[in-house]
Chains A and B, each alone.
Chain A
Amino acid sequence: MAPVMSRVMSRPQPRTALVVLACVAACVAPLVLPDLTFFMRMVMAAIVVTGLSMLMGYSGQASLGQGAFVAAGALTVAVGTTRFELPPLVALLAAPLVAAGFAALVGVPLLRLHGHYLAFGTLALLLMVQAAMSTFDVLGGALGVSGIPPLGVGDRVVVGQLPYVYLALGCLGLVLLLSHRTVHSRFGRGIQALAGSQTAAESAGVPVNRSKVTIFALSAGYAGLAGGLSAFFTPYVSPDSFPALESFTYVIMAVVGGLGTIWGGVVGAVIVSVLLQVLNTVSSQPGLPPTAAPIMQYATYGALLVLALLFMPRGVVPSVDAGVGRLLERARVEAPG
């Protein structure tokens, strides 16, 4: 990462400008967009994928089941507010903590698996969470949990969709800041090291198992936060709210955006979400069969992965970053001083 860092130091302007532009766009978009549900889902995905991208890109661990932790966060809010009469704000704050705690618990045995085995292990976890949700009445059973109260403090209650969208954007900002600080720290160096060589990392003093569980729990905490927010935004949580396909989508978003970058999760979430929205619009045109939507979605995922691996194997963010770097280098050479 140091070449990236030194590049940032030598040319801070274009990067800062891009980040500011993205922030402004994100703040203005909810005011002009006709469909806030789509935007909210995109921000939720960005929060989840930022954590997943950190888990996969820096520590080298895979997860095909991030939905399990989104579910844990959503259930914390849904069950907490409806059954245990937790104040909504407390339930929202508890959502990432419960998801992270759940991940730490299952992570101890699960993270002994490597590579594909870990990926399938996490997928199995998601399926078990779904099964548990539809079996146990406490978790809503097959009907799910409804009647989740709106977010608020005391008598002041959030009305409409817009405040949730801005709250989610604020959470995304926090999550990005936390990821940045995590990666550029002693702990962050430790997880990057264990992805390179577990044996050498251990001998350098990195507590490998604990570090793996911690980064897994952190990414799960992000997912839980997204789940908690979405439970307020769409006040209904059922086993069908967390399909496996959505967890696969997170992985595709992370890969397309660029693993091992802070912004890759956001960029991947935006690109894939917009693409899916376009596909949805196209496939709901009159005259097309009802199976058009899922078929197009799967085909697009396949095409997207193949294209990304062929042309941008490191993902959009690193490729664009390197491209901009080369352009600036050329400009500096052609116009010295």
Chain B
Amino acid sequence: MLKVERMSKHFGGVYANRDVSLEVAEGELRGVIGPNGAGKSTLFNLIAGHLRPDAGSISLAGAHIDRLPPHVRARRGVAIVFQGARLFAGMSLLQNVMVGAHARSRAGLVSAAFRPPAQRREEREIRTQAEQCLDRVGLLELADRPAEGLPLGQQRRLQVARALAGRPRLLLLDEPASGLRAAERTQLADLIRELNGAGTTILLVEHDVGMVTSLAHRITVLDLGTVIADGTPAEVTSDPAVVKAYLGTGADHAAHH
């Protein structure tokens, strides 16, 4: 499904990603963990197309996508939920989600001007489907509210709904649980499990190691821009290199508190 091969990206002299390889199977829920500065966000931005790799390649379902701009990758089925809010201010929740349907609709300015039946039908479909996506994340009753000023948990869920509106094949979640309260985390974990159960391939970057190990089929561990481990949650958490680089310091940290 997703194949990243020996991909590198450096900023000045610092490698954010170095020779990163990673293969995600169709329907898989892959976790990506690593300490701060491990290159997780860079990896996501490279896959979504907001950064260009200096070396290596990315392919989706057998086709190279590393030279495509982000909006074309969206059309190919890549959706991303950003760590920051990145909502569309001045638009309602429903309209935010309707923008997400851009990836799989086509009407342009000319059909907006003349409103032929095909355009009206597409608009109705987009609206209905956006409402379903909002319903799925539990925000339907807020559909007509403006998107700005939403509490963090709802912002995250709105972003998930927006991503779903494009009916993605590959969903990238960049630390979706950060800043959420325990109850919201559980809700979000349930939602992620449900989406993956419905067939969406998911790549999940998360600081909350417990959440990743409970959700992911396999986990890739990054440290200082390189992959240091790749395997099932059990394999990865017992890997000495991982314990040293990440879990070890985390455990020390936890022990001190």
Contact = CB atoms under 8 A, between A and B. Distances in A.
Interface residues of B, number: 49
B71 A186 contact: no
Contacts of A214: 109
B75 A205 contact: yes
Contact of B71 (A6, A197, A207): A207
Contact of B74 (A182, A192, A203, A218): A203
Nearest to B89: A196
B80 A2 contact: no
B120 to A, nearest CB: 10
B109 A204 contact: no
Q: Which of B49, B71, B98 has the most CB of A within 10 A?
A: B71
Contacts of A178: 113
Given A203-B48, A203-B70, A182 B113 contact: yes
B87 A205 contact: no
A12 interface: no
Contacts of B104: 205
Contact of B86 (A188, A189, A197): A197
A48 B245 CA distance: 61
A197 B87 contact: yes
Contacts of B49: 202-203
A192 B79 contact: no
B144 A190 contact: no
Interface string A161-197: 0000000000000000010011001111110110111
A199 B50 contact: yes
A193 B71 contact: no
A185 B122 CA distance: 10
A3 interface: yes
Contacts of A181: 112-113, 115
A251 interface: no
A261 B78 CA distance: 33
Contact of B91 (A6, A186, A196, A218): A196
Contacts, number: 127
A206 interface: yes
B91 A199 contact: no
A203 B45 CA distance: 10
A196 B79 contact: no
Interface string A190-226: 1011011101111111111000001000100000000
B99 A190 contact: yes
A316 B249 CA distance: 58
A6 B73 CA distance: 34
Nearest to A58: B90
B86 A200 contact: yes
A2 B95 contact: yes
B166 A204 contact: yes
Nearest to B109: A187
A190 B96 CA distance: 10
B92 interface: yes
Contact of B123 (A2, A186, A195): A186
A203 B126 CA distance: 17
A260 interface: yes
A185 B74 CA distance: 19
A260 B146 CA distance: 14
B225 interface: no
B25 interface: no
A188 B73 CA distance: 21
A196 B48 CA distance: 19
Contacts of A204: 71, 74, 79, 99-100, 102-103, 162, 166
A208 B71 contact: yes
B112 A185 contact: yes
Nearest to B143: A2
Interface string B82-126: 100011111111111011111111011101110100010011001
Contacts of A192: 88, 90-91, 95, 99
B69 interface: yes
A194 to B, nearest CB: 9
Contacts of A188: 112
B91 A200 contact: no
Nearest to A218: B109
A214 B122 CA distance: 21
Contact of A205 (B74, B89, B93, B145): B74
Contacts of B70: 199, 202-203
Nearest to A184: B112
Interface in A1-47: 1-3, 5-6
Given A3-B144, A185-B123, A201 B99 contact: yes
A252 B91 CA distance: 24
A68 B199 CA distance: 53
Contact of B90 (A185, A190, A195): A195
Q: Which of A185, A200, A204, A206 has the most CB of B within 10 A?
A: A204
Given A182-B112, A203-B49, 17 more contacts: A1-B92, A2-B93, A2-B146, A178-B113, A181-B112, A181-B115, A182-B109, A185-B123, A186-B126, A189-B102, A192-B90, A202-B50, A202-B70, A203-B78, A203-B80, A204-B79, A260-B90
Interface of B: 48-50, 69-71, 73-75, 78-80, 82, 86-96, 98-105, 107-109, 111-113, 115, 119, 122-123, 126, 143-146, 162, 166
8 contacts: A3-B146, A6-B144, A178-B113, A182-B113, A186-B122, A196-B88, A201-B99, A203-B48
